[in-house]
Amino acid sequence: MTKPLSFLFFCLFYFTFSYSSAAPHLIEQATPGGIIMISIAEIDQEAPKAFFNNKRVAMTKSNTHWLALIGIPLSAKLGEHKITLEMKGTDKNLTFKVFDKIYPAQYLTIKKKRMVTGFTKADLKKINSDKKEMTAAKSTWTEQTIDTHFIPPVDGRLSSLFGLKRFFNNIAKRPHNGLDIAAKTGTPIIAPASAKVINTGNFYFNGNTVFLDHGQGLLSAYLHMDTITVKEGQKVKQGDMLGTVGETGRVTGPHLHWIVYLNKTPIDPALFIPNDIERLNAKNKR
């Protein structure tokens, strides 16, 4: 979490998006950290399989065609990329281009210094164990129709954007892989769409966390929670309560860190709630 965003920063962020005619509730953004949708085959054909960087990608429908829904890694090189299709026993390649996007830097002061440096042996053991558990959760794939009509998981203030180049106590860390929404401790966190709970736990950096499976590698995660009110294996509907906002793990204050994954890749959650971003950001001006 960080200080309120400037209006200029928000405009540069929000208006770089372009709506997809295939799924008007989603934003298509062919940049690192974005989503691209590619028409694969006519809808009367059997659903094809598609792979990007050797990872299977989600397949959804328009009125006339099957669409590959591809998450682009923040580390993706600019220029041409390809996806591989498996259709009727034959392989076929399609290409798309990734364009540049500049993500600003963000400097945060973490008071709990062992959340940044000076880890003990016990800390490292916990961190490594957490990594294995979360990697397993993020590898989940279930064959089911996906619903990309998301709603915001918490009512709060947009406090930190996806993709920021992060520095904790002036030490460079990985880019911000989610969207931060600040709210008071105890504020309800809800499921943005129907899903199955695939993991809950308390992790060293992430604090109390819930992972949801929305199908075909479309996953979401909810970090730094105060309380968790769901269990692994539980099915939830859009709007069902997952828990409450907190400040567990590596934080500077109470907020929800919300991550969305496609093909094991964190992508910008704002692309799933384009009609809500301006409202969430407006709370910075009050």
Indicate whether 238 and 272 sit together in one domain. yes
Res. 3: pLDDT tops 50: no
What pLDDT sits at residue 42?
Answer: 87
Taking 3-state DSSP, the helix, strand and coil percentages for the chain, each rounded to the nearest 5, stand at: 15, 40, 45
Indicate whether 187 and 264 sit together in one domain. yes
What pLDDT sits at residue 19?
Answer: 44
Indicate whether 75 and 151 sit together in one domain. no
What pLDDT sits at residue 7?
Answer: 34
Q: Which percentage of the chain shows pLDDT scores above 70? A: 91
Indicate whether 42 and 119 sit together in one domain. no
**Mean pLDDT over residues 48-56, rounded?**
94
Buried b (16+ CB within 10 A) or exposed e, 42-69: eeeeeeeebbbbebbbbbbeeeebbbbb
Range of the domain at 76: 18-98
Indicate whether 150 and 252 sit together in one domain. yes
Last residue of a domain, one of 58, 73, 98: 98
Q: Is 21 helix (H, G, I), strand (E, B) or coil?
A: coil
> pLDDT for 109-154, tens place per residue?
999 999 999 999 999 999 999 999 999 999 999 999 998 999 999 9
Indicate whether 180 and 123 sit together in one domain. yes
Do 158 and 179 meet the contact criterion of CB atoms below 8 Å apart?
yes
Indicate whether 110 and 52 sit together in one domain. no
> pLDDT for 180-190, tens place per residue?
999 999 999 99
Structural domain contains residue 13: no
**Mean pLDDT over residues 202-230, rounded?**
98
**Mean pLDDT over residues 63-69, rounded?**
91
Q: Which percentage of the chain shows pLDDT scores above 90? A: 78
Last residue of a domain, one of 98, 115, 132: 98
Res. 104: pLDDT tops 70: yes
Q: What domain count does the chain have?
A: 2
Indicate whether 189 and 109 sit together in one domain. yes
Confidence label for 23 from pLDDT (cuts 50, 70 and 90): low
Structural domain contains residue 8: no
What pLDDT sits at residue 286?
Answer: 62
Indicate whether 93 and 176 sit together in one domain. no
Structural domain contains residue 5: no
CATH of the domain at 122: 2.70.70.10
Indicate whether 175 and 227 sit together in one domain. yes
What pLDDT sits at residue 127?
Answer: 97
Last residue of a domain, one of 45, 65, 98: 98
